[in-house]
Structure 1
Amino acid sequence: MTDSINPNPEPPQGPRYAILVAGGSGTRMGADRPKQFLNLLGEPVLLHTLRRFAAAALGVEQCVVVLPAEQFDVWQQLCVEHNVTIQHAVVAGGATRWASVRNGLAHLATYTEGIVAVHDGVRPLVSAEVLEQTYAAAAAHGAAVAAVAPKDSVRGLAQQGSYALDRARLRLVQTPQCFELNLLRRAYQLPELNTFTDDASVVEDLQPIYLVPGDYRNLKITTPEDLVVAEALLRAELKHE
């Protein structure tokens, strides 16, 4: 991976697309609904995320929301309740995240070029700056991922005890992860990897991954504590608009 503290990518070229993957069940949240549908200041988490990508200044031509098929009706009802007018496609996910991204990518089959972002549907606080920089870096380098430096000390596990890792050489990967469209298509034509952790791990055998500075506020809502933090951060953001 190529790490950059202050990337200066070339201006983005070609159309932009987004695949928002939202297949969570809410188990770790202890909630009565999938985490993408949890209430965040009066609206579903997934709606907040979708709105970030629908911002006119970002110029995303097509947003694809990937959901389990059994959640389509719930999402449609939520869109009606919240008067959602944002144009987006809804695609059925697969048994794994890898399969879900592949299904979302298949919906873009009619497009021949551009940059596609893959983003967690439960990262609703991604900033316009991070989105723009990651799209632009992918246009310049082929593949770009938002990431942040670890704040804590990090240790690896061994058969006997553990060992220290140099956190200066480590990054915590976030989304968006942006790729040249046909590059991502080639990567997803390969068999699913047992070591799959994110889209960068699918692409990295074909293309070096350029790292863009992420944002600690771009948290992934996974546990109840995450939702509390997200609410506080969103209130602060709205207050300063």
Structure 2
Amino acid sequence: MQNKYAIIVAGGSGSRMKSDLPKQFLLLEDRPVMMHTLEKFANSKSKPQLILVLHPDMFSVWEDLCRNHHFEIPHSVIAGGYTRFQSVRNGIDYIAKQQPGLLENTLIAIHDAARPVVTPTIIDSCYEQTTRFQATVLAVRSTNSVRQGNVVENKAVDRENIWIVQTPQTFRGDLLHEAFLQEELPSFTDDASVVEKLGYNIHLIPGDYRNIKITFPEDIAIAQFYLNSLTN
């Protein structure tokens, strides 16, 4: 039986939300956004061990929120780095210490804390398919027309071949650990791009358009609507 972990990355700032608090700490249904996110993983059949990666300055804030909201889902909290790459690497290193020599038999999902509408069913599918394909990414087809280039020179791209990447992105532990030993590059726009750099193929898992990443203030209302749609 494979060990399962989820690294929940929560190191973002609140700059685009026009808030002093990072978006993952803002209230959604009277609870911080990332409590919903952690809950979705805890409610999945996979029951991964949860690793929450936070900026060290936010540790006490999170402790207070957990106490005030009586949030008791088991999870470990570790310090993030200056970039997402560094934060994910810290999470992988933490797991490697928990599973010395066993990463080949470990599945690690990486998920944005600000994606609270992911469903337990999708989470389970990500782990199940990663057992077969080793490196998977949740994604949805583009519903918009797409052009490639700059404002002067550009051309239409067939949107049937365009996928919008979501999370979780899930990998066999040893591949992920190997990939994050690389030096960080500007081309590493997500976790899959880091693994792909080593020559591994990435398998796409059809996602859910409701699995939005909260980025702007209006996204809170949209996430609220989608949360209601999951329970109605």
Specify the TM-score bucket, using the shorter chain as the normaliser. over 0.9
1:184 aligns with 2:176: yes
1:30 aligns with 2:18: yes
1:144 aligns with 2:136: yes
Match of 2:81 in 1: 94
1:161, 1:227 → 2: CA distance?
Answer: 36
- Within a 5 Å distance, the mapping from 1:16-27 to structure 2 comes to 16-27=4-15
Percent identity (aligned): 45
Question: Aligned partner of 1:52: which letter?
Answer: K
Match of 2:29 in 1: 41
What's the CA shift for 1:140?
A: 0.5
1:107, 1:72 → 2: CA distance?
Answer: 17
Match of 1:85 in 2: 72
1:70 aligns with 2:57: yes
Aligned positions, number: 226
Change (3 A) 1:219 1:192: same
Q: Which structure has the higher relative contact order (CA within 8 Å, separation 6+)?
A: 1
CA contact (8 A) 1:187 1:206 kept: no
1:199, 1:208 → 2: CA distance?
Answer: 13
CA contact (8 A) 1:130 1:213 kept: no
CA contact (8 A) 2:46 2:127 kept: no
- The C-alpha deviation readout for 1:58-96, integer Å capped at 9, x for no partner, is 221x11000100000000100001111111000110010
Question: Aligned partner of 1:146: which letter?
Answer: L
Match of 1:173 in 2: 165
- The C-alpha deviation readout for 1:112-148, integer Å capped at 9, x for no partner, is 1310000000000001221111111111011011000
1:159, 1:43 → 2: CA distance?
Answer: 42
Match of 1:213 in 2: 206
TM-score by length of 1: 0.91
2:225, 2:152 → 1: CA distance?
Answer: 41
Match of 1:230 in 2: 223
1:230, 1:116 → 2: CA distance?
Answer: 25
1:59, 1:51 → 2: CA distance?
Answer: 10
SS at match of 2:208: coil
Q: Which moved more, 1:18-27 or 1:160-169?
A: 160-169
Higher helix share: 2
Q: Runs of 5+ in structure 1 lacking a partner?
A: 1-12
Q: Runs of 5+ in structure 2 lacking a partner?
A: none
1:75, 1:234 → 2: CA distance?
Answer: 22
SS at match of 1:118: strand
Question: Aligned partner of 2:76: which letter?
Answer: A
CA contact (8 A) 1:67 1:90 kept: yes
- The C-alpha deviation readout for 1:208-239, integer Å capped at 9, x for no partner, is 0000000000000000121110011112323x
CA contact (8 A) 1:144 1:210 kept: yes
